[in-house]
Amino acid sequence: MEQLAAQKNWTDEERLELAAQLDAELDAFIDGLEKKRYEEGWPEDRWQEEMDKHPFFMKRAPQPGDDVHPMFEGLQKLKYDPEENTRDELALNYKEDGNFYMKHKKFRMAIYSFTEGIKSKTENPDVLAVLYNNRSAAHYFIKNYRSSLSDAQRALFFKPDYTKARWRSAQCAYELERFDVCTQMCEELLEVDVDHKEANALLHKNKMKKLEIERNQRKEAAEAKRRLTRFHRLRDAIEQRAIKFDDQKVGKKATLSEELLRPKFQPLEDHPVHLDEDGSTLIWPAAFSYPEFLFSDFQQQLPETATMRDCLMTLFAEPLPCDKAQNYRQGNVHVYYENRKVGCVHKVDEEKQLADIIAEKGFFVSGGALLFYVVPKDSRVEKEFINQQRRPMVYS
């Protein structure tokens, strides 16, 4: 080796010989090293998972609460550590993140980033104005109009001539129906730029919506007044007739309410008792129950001047589908009502008007409607119905 090194001119054969010798010595050195398994790499069964965590290869940014790769954690520290950044730098870093999320329409993550920027305690009014305005935009896109308006107005506090924040305030005020605020914001925008098309359009739209809502409010107020007048007339008519209700919450001196008069039977619930157009006759919803078949017929509007015979003629204009024996027909049935307060039943005179039946001492309006029971005359069904054990209602 030394002899070869001393020669000045090398032949090709000598160079090849030297190369072969060096390769042999390197192989001998490697073979002499201690054999040890390499354990610093990624496990074969989790290499894809580990790669996705590595900041150089990850396909998405970690979300709050995720475990992060140490290298990513280090990068985060460089970007967000208060010891490594000034307050302004921190605020701008978070603003950059928020803008990234806004671009990808991840508005809640944007709100989080802008909020962290605000919490960095920067004292730069321009930076704070941008952070509040951008957070206002993020809130606006997820329809948090109240929060959006609040942030836009905070942005104007830090930067009074901030056109974007003033426009956002106008938009939010319109959505929240705060018409005076919307008008003020639009007018201030037009003072700076008389050709601001969006502000002109929103100002007109705001005015029209305000007029429409005020008109609807007047209509609703007038209708509410008419409804209250109708109810007072209805209440007076019921009280004049001394009509009684079996609702346990109602005593002799209880005040009638719309809730009390609303029928509890589903087919009748949209047809509460009311006065006719002349205001002289009560129109009642009524339920006719057939104990034998465990079902009921309903009549939604029965004038109190109708007799029970009139009601039965309507009920049996067609045969009952379940009455195979044809026992339920005009002249072959008895009608009863139940006095739940004392636990007994009373037979109804078919020639009487409903007003007279309702005025009887034992009759109580049940669930906002008239309730009658229909059974065949002198039948087993009638006997069982009359003799059925009933407990008087107990009122607290």
Asked whether this chain's domains 85-209 and 258-387 adopt the same fold, the reply is: no
- pLDDT tens by residue, 192-238: 999 999 999 999 999 999 999 999 999 999 999 999 999 999 999 99
> Distance between CA atoms of 111 and 2, rounded to whole angstroms?
74
- pLDDT tens by residue, 273-331: 999 999 999 999 999 999 999 989 999 999 999 999 999 999 999 999 899 999 999 89
* Residue position matching structure tokens 């970007």: 79
- pLDDT tens by residue, 225-272: 999 999 999 999 999 999 998 764 544 545 788 888 999 999 999 999
Helix axes 163-175, 197-240, angle to 10 degrees: 20
Range of 15-29, 140-154, 235-249, 361-375 with top mean pLDDT: 140-154
Region 258-387: CATH code: 3.10.20.90
> Distance between CA atoms of 388 and 375, rounded to whole angstroms?
13
- Domain ranges (residues) in the chain: 85-209, 258-387
Phi, psi angles (nearest 5°) of residue 202: -70, -35
User: What kind of architecture, by CATH, is found in domain 85-209?
Assistant: Alpha Horseshoe (1.25)
> Distance between CA atoms of 260 and 366, rounded to whole angstroms?
10
* Beta-carbon-side half-sphere exposure of residue 161 (alpha carbons within 13 Å): 3
As a whole number of angstroms, the longest Cα–Cα distance in the chain is: 145
> Distance between CA atoms of 264 and 390, rounded to whole angstroms?
22
Q: 206: Cβ–Cβ under 8 A, 6 or more apart, which residues?
A: 174, 179, 182, 183, 186
